[in-house]
Structure 1
Amino acid sequence: MPPKETHPVQAVAQALTPPQRAETSNYIEIIVDYNRRPFSITWQRGTRYPNLDTFPTFTDAVVNPITQTASMRALWTQSVTFGYGSCGMLRIQDNVCFPVIKLAHSDRRFMQMIQHEFALLTSMALLDSFLPVVRVDQQPILENGEICGFRMKRLSEMCRSSLISRKSDIQDALQRLHSAGFCHGDIRGNNIMEDGAGRIMFIDFGLGGRIGSDAPEFFPGRVPRQFTAQHDWDLFDKEFQ
């Protein structure tokens, strides 16, 4: 799940989710961060996407605050919005070992995907700490006793020219991942990064798994029903064709 990057300016409402169906029929909803607090914005289907610069005053949309637990409220207070993807949002917290915070969107399926990703990342770290995958805090983020997110290291994005010039290094890293028995499931440029030493690292393992095992039922229908290395290579070839 590659993030849509934003510049964390807390005085402006920032989208945390893509537009999605609201609970009310024929309405669309997004979640935004405003002054480190979450709000929902809903509007009727067919109406123009709200201009977030005018938050919280809209002509054709309704704003409602979202209630948070004390622990989640504290986490939000200590961090700022960094971006979002299809199943989760990213936040940044300064002066900590694992500064990137990934939180699931509220839908149950997205929660399951985040839990799956965390379990996969922690199992890979325990098996081989030198695998080319983002390092995560082994302690997940809980809300009401359930895993809703996790913390990870911050890596550096790679521009298109860097990806092309390091194609062979990326191939080697992907082969090492496969040799350890895992596949990524979503190989593309946004999910390939570098650590501080310039080593290739893969992020966003929400669609990854152990090679040869079946994909969970909550995975999107477009995803192959079994984890294979070949699927990764097909995506790799498409990215670098």
Structure 2
Amino acid sequence: MNYPCLAKFPNLRSGRVSLLKESPDTASLRSSSMLVNFGSHACIRRADSEPYPIVKLAHPDAQSMALMRYEYEMLNRLARLHLPIPAFSNEPILEHGKLRGYRMEELFKLTHDEMSLRSDDVKQAVKKFHDAGYSHGDLSLSNIMKDGQGSIVVIDVSCSGPIGKEIPSWVPSWAYERATFHTESDIKRLGNIFP
């Protein structure tokens, strides 16, 4: 991972850089874990804690925090339906009384060759979402993984929702072409993954 050197950051006359205000628990978690990956709304860290060594933490802005709260709520709904999602802790990570993240099982990327060999398994996992009345909304190669037993798991459910329901304003507009959750975008993205 390459991070910008703030010492060489250009002088901004109308802006200022300030320290991130985290709770002592979150700061401790961050310092005792290793960065694995990051995206525009969250980072993934590895902590030595079983059975949930992977930590997903929202960035501290309002949109990222809203997406994380929604994702955790969606994980709970989808878990009750026994859908192929990661196993996760039922104790979310809170900061100043607000949900900041959660812990989950370790997952593994599928190689390009493995992805094509497992296309039927991936399509079946997505079909389970649809049959249960949910769309995923953000299907991509990076959001399809496998667990320790080799079962296909679909991750990052922050764009998921019940088919036919209105999409919340914080779900990115690129996820769906209409104002309600639907399966067509999932089917279209599956076609891009498995042409």
Bigger proportion of residues as strand: 1
Alignment of 1:92-241 (within 5 A): 92-128=46-82, 131-224=83-176, 225-241=179-195
% identical equivalent positions: 30
The answer (yes or no) to whether the contact 2:22–2:95 under 8 Å persists in 1 is no
Unaligned runs of 5+ in 1: 1-5, 7-13, 16-49
Instruction: State the aligned residue count.
Output: 189
- Number of the residue aligned with 2:8: 58
For 1:101, the aligned partner's letter is V
In structure 1, C-alpha distance between the alignment counterparts of 2:108 and 2:133, rounded to whole Å: 26
- Pairwise CA distance, 1:193: 0.6
For 1:229, the aligned partner's letter is T
Deviations 1:104-129 (A, max 9, x none): 1122111111111100001111232x
Runs of 4+ in 1 over 6 A off after TM superposition: none
3-state DSSP of counterpart to 1:148: strand
In structure 2, C-alpha distance between the alignment counterparts of 1:188 and 1:222, rounded to whole Å: 13
Deviations 1:146-169 (A, max 9, x none): 111111111110111111111111
3-state DSSP of counterpart to 1:119: helix
3-state DSSP of counterpart to 1:162: helix
Structure 1 residues 69 and 95, CA, compared in 2 at 3 Å: closer, same or farther? closer
The normalised TM-score by structure 1 is 0.73
For 1:157, the aligned partner's letter is K
3-state DSSP of counterpart to 1:175: helix
3-state DSSP of counterpart to 2:181: coil
The answer (yes or no) to whether the contact 1:122–1:136 under 8 Å persists in 2 is no
Query: RMSD of the TM alignment (CA)?
Result: 1.8
3-state DSSP of counterpart to 2:150: coil
For 1:79, the aligned partner's letter is S
Unaligned runs of 5+ in 2: none
The normalised TM-score by structure 2 is 0.89
